[in-house]
A and B are shown apart, each in its own frame.
Chain A
Amino acid sequence: SQKIEQNSEALNIQEGKTATLTCNYTNYSPAYLQWYRQDPGRGPVFLLLIRENEKEKRKERLKVTFDTTLKQSLFHITASQPADSATYLCAFGSSASKIIFGSGTRLSIRP
C-alpha cells in the first residue's frame, strides 16, 4: 500500500542551526510534494510546493528538495528560531484528490 514516512517523530535543535526534516514514500509515484506547518490547536498552513520535475525550491529560510530516485524529500530551515517550533507535515500528491499526508515531525528549537 502507499505509504508516507516522516522519519522523525520529534527533532530538537539549537537556535541558529539548520533543521532538516525527511519525508520518504513507497509504492507511490507523486507528481508533487507539499509541506505544511501545524501549530498546536490549529489547522495546517501551506508552506511550499515542489513538482516532480523540480529538484529544489526555496522560500526565504526554507528549502525543499525532491528526489524521485531516492523517493524522498528533505525540508530545511536555515538559521532556525524558536518561533519555527511546530509540527511539519509533508504531503505527496498525484492529483487534487489524491494527496497523502505523513504523520508529521514535531520540531523544537531551543534558545
Chain B
Amino acid sequence: DADVTQTPRNRITKTGKRIMLECSQTKGHDRMYWYRQDPGLGLRLIYYSFDVKDINKGEISDGYSVSRQAQAKFSLSLESAIPNQTALYFCATSEPDRGNTGELFFGEGSRLTVL
C-alpha cells in the first residue's frame, strides 16, 4: 500500500463546481503539502501544514482552500473550479530534520480537468 494516498486519481468537472482532493498518509509525518504541476512550470506549492493546527499559504493559493482534519489527512478544495485549474495535483509529506531539509514523499497525483 502507498504511504501517501490521493483520491480521486482522475477527475473531470465543469466550471463553477466545487471539488475536493483528498490526501491521507501512513508515514506518521507532521508536515503535509499540496503542489500543482503544469507542463513547463514545474511543481508549485499551493498550501502547506506543519501540524494539525498550522495552515500556510504557498506560492499559488488563490482559488484554493485546505483542511487538515488529522495528522494523517490533508484535503485541498477548489470552491468554484475554473479551466486554468486543470493540472496534476500532488500531495506530499515530510518530517523535519536538524537542517530542515527533509525529503518530500509524494503521492501518485490527482489529475483534474476543468471543462
Q: Is the CB of A45 within 8 A of B106?
A: yes
A46 at the interface (CB under 8 A from B): yes
Tell which of A41, A51, A96, A103 touches B109, judged by Cβ atoms closer than 8 Å: A41
Question: What is the number of residues of chain B that contact chain A, defined by CB distance less than 8 Å?
Answer: 28
Question: What is the number of residues of chain A that contact chain B, defined by CB distance less than 8 Å?
Answer: 25
Considering only CB atoms, which chain B residue lies closest to A47 in the complex? B103
Type the 1/0 row for A74-107, where 1 means its CB is closer than 8 Å to any CB of B.
0000000000000001010101110101111000
B100 at the interface (CB under 8 A from A): yes
Residues of B near A31 (CB, < 8 A) are: 99-101
Residues on A lying within 8 angstroms of B by beta carbon are 4, 9, 31-32, 34, 36, 41-46, 49, 51, 89, 91, 93, 95-97, 99, 101-104
